[in-house]
Amino acid sequence: MKVAANQYPQEAARVLREEPQVRESVTGATLNFDSKRRQAYAEVDAETWRHWAESVKNHVLSNLDRYLLEAEASLQKNGVQVHWAEDADDARRIVADIARAGQVRKVVKAKTMVSEELAINPMLEGMGVEVLETDLGEYIIQLLQQPPSHIVGPAIHLNLAQIRQLFHERFQTPPDASPEHLAAVARQLLREGFLKADMGISGGNFVVAETGTLALIENEGNIRLSTSAPRIHVALVGIEKLLPRFTDLAVFLSLTARAATGQRLGTFVSLIQGPRQPGEPDGPEEVHVVFVDNGRSSVLADPEAWETLRCLRCAACLNACPVYRQTGGHAYGYVYSGPIGAILSPGLLGLEETKPLPYASSLCGACFQACPVRIPIPKLLLTWRNRAVQEGLSPRLEAAAIKGYALAMTQPWAYRLASKALRLLPEKALDNTVVPVIKAWTEGRAGLKPSPKSFRQMWEDGEV
């Protein structure tokens, strides 16, 4: 997918100025998700769950080679065809080959962020294959030709009026149709898609190495249909999504649902154990699992960033993030947005293309508090910032200013001098200035007013 992460500051400002309804929609929805998550966490011993989940994922990541081989063997034993994609090109080629071999003309898709990352839809469409997104939110943004704005709620940035308008234009629904009516119209259209499709594409929340089980969580039932109705099912799964044993699933399924939507479990959980067996009435004839690297192994090899790969893609960090809430996901310029996107995108794509993202945070820590697998997001944001500085990617003026700052703060005389200078500045200099940092401050905020005397001066003058 095209990356526009270097435009983050401009895009964030533009969304706030030109699309104020985005802030409204995203704030409302994320606050709702976040409060449901809190309630669902409160029911369980959340801290113990989080620590346990963290340790299981750490164990998997530390032994990933072994578990990937075990998973491959178990999947094959179940009749699943396993493929390995080193990068996006590989993945697209693998999916294209499967589609060609199966003479696929129509594809239905379950929501999968990996397929966005790999730009599967444009590739299939280029082959003349019709692609239908079957998650309602994904379907809406497919109609609008937009990328997802949120990992779990892709159309989170839209309000009801916009969706009414869209359906009115496309499907001639009444301009004031109820949400139920709109959903019913979409349901009708999607039903036809399921029945005609030759291939279903899904992601994978988990793959159990021990049993070769692919686990998928959802609420709409479209994943179950996409993975069982068509002849061929292809699951695109990041290599980090493994769990060791079948018994690990119980807590992980519940933890993910609780973190994502505040549910104890998704409405539908599919545990896929291979293609249709002789005597079984339904299910696909072929099941393929494509394990996708696409930068993940270099994140894994990174002594600091590897913890990012614990991510379950629950989006709890997005829902908790006051920065994400202002603009939604599109401003981040890549498929993964919000706090996790700000540390995952630099890991997958490198800092050159993504350097504003680690700064897209006030470091308030709400993301870490929300994360079900305890990814130290604020710490990793700082790590990426430090790397940007070390690689000379930070603005030169800023680097010079910080060097000056460090010098002044290690020499008390220089600190005093700066303190005196601050008080000699005419009031206007701190209010209506062209100095970049102060200008950015005073646009929208009243000017800075230093205390008439610094505390230090008062102390030295014996006034304290």
Residues in the site for another protein, rule: CB under 8 A?
9, 12-13, 16-17, 23, 27, 322-323, 325-327, 358-366, 368-369, 379, 382, 384-389, 394, 398-399, 402-403, 405-406, 408-410, 412, 415, 419, 422, 436-437, 440-456, 458-460, 463-464
Joined tokens for residue 379 = 């710490």
Element (H, E) at 62: helix 46-62
Q: How far is the CB of 157 from another protein (least distance, A)?
A: 15
Residue 414 beta carbon to another protein: minimum distance, rounded to whole angstroms: 8
CA 164 to centroid of chain Cα atoms: 27
Nearer to another protein by Cβ, of 288 and 355: the residue is 355
Residue number, 175 or 450, with CB nearest to another protein = 450
**What residues contact residue 445 under an 8 Å CB cut-off, 6+ apart?**
none
The angle at the Cα of 367, spanning 221 to 27, to the nearest 5 degrees, equals 65
Q: How far is the CB of 71 from another protein (least distance, A)?
A: 35
Q: How far is the CB of 31 from another protein (least distance, A)?
A: 9
Cα 306 to its chain centre, rounded Å, is 16
Beta carbon nearer to another protein, 250 or 402: 402
Pairwise CA distance, residues 343 & 360, whole Å: 10
Q: Angle between the 136-143 and 179-196 helix axes, to the nearest 10 degrees?
A: 90
3-state secondary structure of 24: helix
Of residues 161 and 458, the one with the C-beta less far from another protein: 458
Q: Which is nearer to another protein, 126 or 412 (CB)?
A: 412
Smallest distance from another protein to CB 411, Å? 8
> By C-beta, is 219 or 369 nearer to another protein?
369
CB of 174 to another protein, least distance (A): 34
3-state class (DSSP) for residue 301:
coil
Question: What are phi and psi for residue 459, nearest 5 degrees?
Answer: -65, -45
Runs of H (alpha helix) within 197-337: 222-228, 249-261, 296-300, 316-320, 324-327
d(CA 66, CA 239): 12
Tell the smallest beta-carbon distance from residue 24 to another protein (Å). 10
How many CA atoms within 13 Å lie on the side-chain side of 160?
11
CA–CA dist 96, 325 (Å, integer)? 37
Residue with Cβ nearer another protein (107 or 373): 373
- Dihedral angle, C-alpha 233, 234, 235, 238, nearest 10 °: 170
Q: Which two tokens stand for residue 350?
A: 């490198």
Minimum CB distance to another protein, residue 58 (Å): 19
Closer Cβ to another protein, 126 or 455, answer by number: 455
